[in-house]
Amino acid sequence: MIKPFYFILVLGCQMNKNDAERMETILQNAGWSRTENKEEADAIFIVTCSVRQTAEDRVYGLAHNFAKLRRKNPNLLIGITGCMAGRDTDGKIRQRLSFVNFFFPIHEMTKLPEWLKEKKQTVSEVKEDSGAYLKTPPKISENFRAFVSIQTGCNKFCSYCVVPYARGREKCRPVKDTMEEIRRLVDNGCLEVTLLGQAVNNYIAPDPENFSKDNPYKDHFAALIWEINQTDLKRLHYTAPYPNHMTDEVIDALALPVQVNYLHLPVQSGDNEVLRRMNRRHTREQYLEIVKKIKARVPDIALGTDIIVGFCGETEEQFERTLDLYRQCDFDISYHARYSQRSGTLAAKIFKDDVSKEEKKRRWRKIQNLMEETTLRKNQKFQDQIVEVLVDRSEAGVCWGTTNEMKTASFPGGPELVGKLVKMMVEKADVWVLFGKLN
């Protein structure tokens, strides 16, 4: 019997990628095989992102394009999941995608075998635990690197964000389950793990009795970091922490041996009034104090952040405060975006999206220019230095990977180095890439 084929397209964040890996496990256990060719697929799934309107608009276009494949394969099944399906509380998005077979929030992926067998989606009358799907082991595509979700959902309700509506309230995985997954990954050759959660450092273990008796930390997230440091893992990274939960113990744990020398700490704005309208729970001053503590504990740590420009009512003076905060923190990198109003959020209900597209674009470019200047300057310290690189790909005789500061590195080398930690001498420090040779 020929197994049916599935094709999965993942859009958006690392959490979506990890969710797709769990979906692969479910589909393969149900007798399906993966294909990279959508034209031979019997079922196509899109794991969607709702962070900006452009991301959702792309899904509508992709779904219609996939539907055209039914001309050759009338039995083709199409499924939409992820944040776009999760936040569709009034059914308007589903109505626009009425031609798809399956439209479901990500935590309902465990029902896929039943739906595929019946070739139709049914709505369960029983409200299931939105975090239960995390018990499904993900189908890891790279043995040397993996994402591990320790939390799903969010309780913060930032006024611009759809995540609490799309993924529900915060639920944390047990210590036991998390550590079992990480030990299994390490036993299979995994070198680097990234812990995932919407406010990942607000980890509250449902089973704290499973922390080791000699664990020195009381903060559950710091305690989990310590537990992971007792394994043979080589690198540990996490995203995305929330500033208010960077406790003294979590900051102290940044210096543990396995922790990468990088922290991504979203700030969103450098102005207190904008932060208040965003419903962020921190002030500018609190954020700067946290960064001060972090750099006191790990002086050479690389810092990244997220920034939204052109949020409702943001004045030029308020935007300049964000630039000033950027300079004070001396970020290595920023993932900045122009504000995109999302239906169903608090901001869409009570604020006017009154910063013009042209002004948002100008402010974005101003931060981009500052980032490129700062990043280039900070990268110069690696010139003629030896850095450790985790090689993740090799193309045409050139290897690419990431350093311990999560900076992209490149050097001449073959595919036999993929998945290995190597030493590289930096010969040229550019804005986005450290170029060098094997040491």
- The domain that holds 94 is classified in CATH as 3.40.50.2300
The answer to whether position 240 is within a domain reads no
- Written as six digits, the tokens of 139 are 């189908």
Does one domain contain both 149 and 65? no
The answer to whether position 135 is within a domain reads no
Total number of domains constituting the chain: 4
The answer to whether position 245 is within a domain reads no
Does one domain contain both 376 and 266? yes
Domain carrying residue 60: 5-118
Does one domain contain both 9 and 101? yes
Domain boundary residue, one of 347, 362, 381 = 381
The answer to whether position 375 is within a domain reads yes
- Written as six digits, the tokens of 384 are 């003629």
Does one domain contain both 302 and 371? yes
Does one domain contain both 288 and 357? yes
Q: DSSP readout, 141-200?
A: S-TTEEEEE-EES-S---TT--HHHHH-S-EE--HHHHHHHHHHHHHTT--EEEEE-TTT
Does one domain contain both 158 and 111? no
So what's the pLDDT on residue 203?
Answer: 98
Nearest to 304 by CA among 253, 381, 241, 366: 241
- The domain that holds 429 is classified in CATH as 2.40.50.140
Does one domain contain both 272 and 364? yes
Does one domain contain both 332 and 267? yes
- The domain that holds 273 is classified in CATH as 3.30.750.200
The answer to whether position 62 is within a domain reads yes
The answer to whether position 246 is within a domain reads no
The answer to whether position 248 is within a domain reads no
Does one domain contain both 196 and 219? yes
C-alpha dist (Å) from residue 53 to 56, 121, 132, 232, 329: 5, 26, 29, 42, 30
Does one domain contain both 352 and 429? no
Does one domain contain both 361 and 296? yes
So what's the pLDDT on residue 127?
Answer: 53
- Written as six digits, the tokens of 392 are 């993740």
CB 374 within 8 Å of CB 188: no
Does one domain contain both 405 and 334? no
- The 8-class DSSP code of residue 341 comes to -
The answer to whether position 43 is within a domain reads yes
* Distance in angstroms (rounded) separating the CA atoms of residues 9 and 28: 16
So what's the pLDDT on residue 160?
Answer: 95
So what's the pLDDT on residue 126?
Answer: 46
- The domain that holds 219 is classified in CATH as 3.30.750.210
Going by C-beta distance under 8 Å and a sequence separation of 6 or more, which residues neighbour residue 263?
241, 254, 294, 301, 302, 303, 304
The pLDDT profile of the chain, 439 residues, written as one tens digit per residue, is 578 999 999 999 999 999 999 999 999 999 999 999 999 999 999 999 988 888 899 999 999 999 999 999 999 999 999 999 989 888 999 999 999 999 999 999 999 999 998 888 876 544 556 667 888 888 888 899 999 999 999 999 999 999 998 888 999 999 999 999 999 999 999 999 999 999 999 999 999 999 999 999 999 999 999 999 999 999 999 999 999 999 999 999 999 999 999 999 999 999 999 999 999 999 999 999 999 999 999 999 999 999 999 999 999 999 999 999 999 999 999 999 999 999 889 999 999 999 999 999 999 999 999 999 999 999 999 999 999 999 999 999 999 999 999 999 999 999 999 999 999 999 999 999 999 999 9
